[in-house]
Every structure is written in C-alpha cells, then in structure tokens.
Amino acid sequence: MSQYIGLTGTMGSGKGEIVKLLEKRGFKYISLSDMVRAEATARGMEHSRENLQNIGNDLRTKGGAGALGAKVREAIEKEPENNWVIDGVRNPGEVKELEKLSDYQMVGVSADTETIVKRIMERQRGGEVLKRESILERLEKEKGVGEPPEGQQVSKCIDLCDFMILNDGKLEDLEKKFEHFLRLKTGEDRPTFDEIFMEIAYIWGKRSTCLRRQVGAVIAKDKQQLTAGYNGAPRGVPHCAQLGGCLREKMGIPSGQRHEICRGTHAEQNAITQAAKFGINIQDSILYCNTFPCVICTKMILNAGIKTVVYDSDYNDPLSKEILGQQTILELRRYEGRRIRPDSR
C-alpha cells in the first residue's frame, strides 16, 4: 500500500530537510505551494512570498478552505502506485481533503521563533531580503494571526498533525526524530514514555464533560503513572450540557480569560487534587497535559512541587505564560512525538 506523508509548519521550520530524507527513500514530492506558483505564473505575478500567500488565500476564498488540498489529492490519485510527500499544508480544510487518501499521516515541524528568524536571515542570498520585523510579521500571518478561516492557519494544522517534531537542534537530531516516526509506523520502535503518558492524557480527555475543549492530564514519576484527571463539573454537580450549555459561551468570554467564570474543574487541577485525596506524593513529578496550562493550573502546579510540565496544544493565556517565564523551578516543554487527537481516526 502506498504511503502519503503530509508536512505542516512555518517557513524556516525545517520541512525541506524532511522532504530530502523522504525523496532519498523514493517518495515523490508534491507541494500545495506548486499550485499557488502555477496560479501566480498564470496571473503574471512575481513569485514573492507575500504574493504567494495572498494568491493562496484568494484560491481558498473562491474554492473553499480545502481547494488546494483537493487539487493535490486529485494529482496524487492519478499515480496511486507511488509513495508521496506532500509539503505546504497550511489550512485545516486542506487536512480534511488529504485525509481522504488512505494511510495519510501528517507531520508537524516547529522550532523556537528566534531559531527560525536566525535560519531565515542566515540563508538569504540574493532575491528578496527580509528584515527581522518583516520575518516576524510573516510568521504570525502563516500561523493564522489576523487571518480569515480560509487563510493560512498553520497553528491549527499543527494541532491536527499525527506526529510532532521540534526542530531546534542540529540536522542529525531532526533526522533521528523523523526516523523514530517512520519506525513507529513499521513497528520497529516502541513509543517513548512521553508518547505513552501523553496518549493516556488524551484518553482521559475523552471523559471530559466540557463543551468547549476536551483536556486530559497525567502525573507520572519514575516512569509510572501516579494520578490523572480530565476537565468537567465537580463531583455531584450537574454537567454544563444538563444545564443548557456553556456558561462562558453564553457570556461571550473568550478562551484564556476569566477562568473563575466556569462550572468546570481543569484536568491538571483534578490530577493534583486526586493526589491529595489519596495521599500520593507528587513532589518532583512530571505532569503531562494535552493543552498548555491556564494561570490557575500554573499556580497549583508550581505549589504542588511538580518539576516538569509537558504540554501538547497551545492555549492563549498571557498571564500564565508571563508567570511561567518569570519562575525558575519548573521545566516547561512542548510535547513532541506521536499524537492522539480527540477526533483521532
């Protein structure tokens, strides 16, 4: 059976290096950007990054968010005997189109912003030369900040990927991480402990009664699970669905704000209180959560003596990020490895 591997990530993240690795393995290359470049040529426009971004958005606006993904899928289906690497996935609509291919998996590639800026500035040779401010602006646009639903939404695509790679190190590190992804597919590698505990966190999230977001958390120590939790109403209290909907939705409260106006208890809070209930020592433990902790959870995590937080999807809570940036006793790291989504196939 043919394999189809999609790649998503911002410019400078390192997707091109993974393309090279797969081409050495006989994969054929196709990019959603090729469709945009062809349209730019037809319109007689220069192939600058800004022009290509705008043309891609225009094609999605006219043909739907998945328009470019559908074009690529149709091209691939004409050569079903080949393995394909598909670059440039930038909108969830494109993900949905490409998932119609059998055995399709998407790899998300990310890196620290400063690392990406440095890479882009170092590799500029001739042509369009970008300054730091311009690079940061374009990165935000690629991620989806200020973009319409049919525009570029790389951050949302990252949240939909099947495997996550943080490419902050050397090229050989990237190769080892991607090799692990391939060996997991064939069964040659076992999951890491990070992958095991994050998968368990996602499974606990399926018990969530929250109408906005399913979140699960696991606290582990010495490679053993200690406690777990999911978000939902406290014990003995009716679920939000039983009371006619989400209170925060009714009041129009944006995600990441006014956490006190909520009937639910967060997954991290439940995992910590379960430890207190049963007398389990979580000092110097690791908390795994499929979402970045809010400010209330952050304060509890710090005071509980947890030494490391591994999170998957991002969560826009500026005060939480400010506090975590000020403290020096807790290690915070983004999860990388095999991902289990709440809507996993």
The tokens of 113 are what? 């912003």
d(CA 246, CA 204): 21
d(CA 264, CA 231): 6
Is 147 part of the annotated catalytic residue set? no
The tokens of 54 are what? 């705008």
Q: How many CA atoms lie within 13 A of 180 on its CB side?
A: 15
* Eight-state DSSP code of residue 151: S
What are residue 338's phi and psi, to 5 degrees?
-70, 135
The tokens of 110 are what? 């990310």
Those residues with Cβ within 8 angstroms of residue 328's Cβ, 6 or more apart along the chain or in another chain? none
337-338 vs 84-87, strand pairing mode: unpaired
Region of residue 14 (left: phi > 0; alpha: psi -120 to 50; beta: else): left
CB atoms within 10 A of CB 145: 12
Q: How many helices (H) and strands (E) does the chain have?
A: 14, 11
d(CA 23, CA 103): 18
Contact indicator for 5, 21 with CB cutoff of 8 Å: no
**Out of 199, 268, 322, 336, which one is annotated catalytic?**
268
The tokens of 218 are what? 């696991």
Active site residues: 268
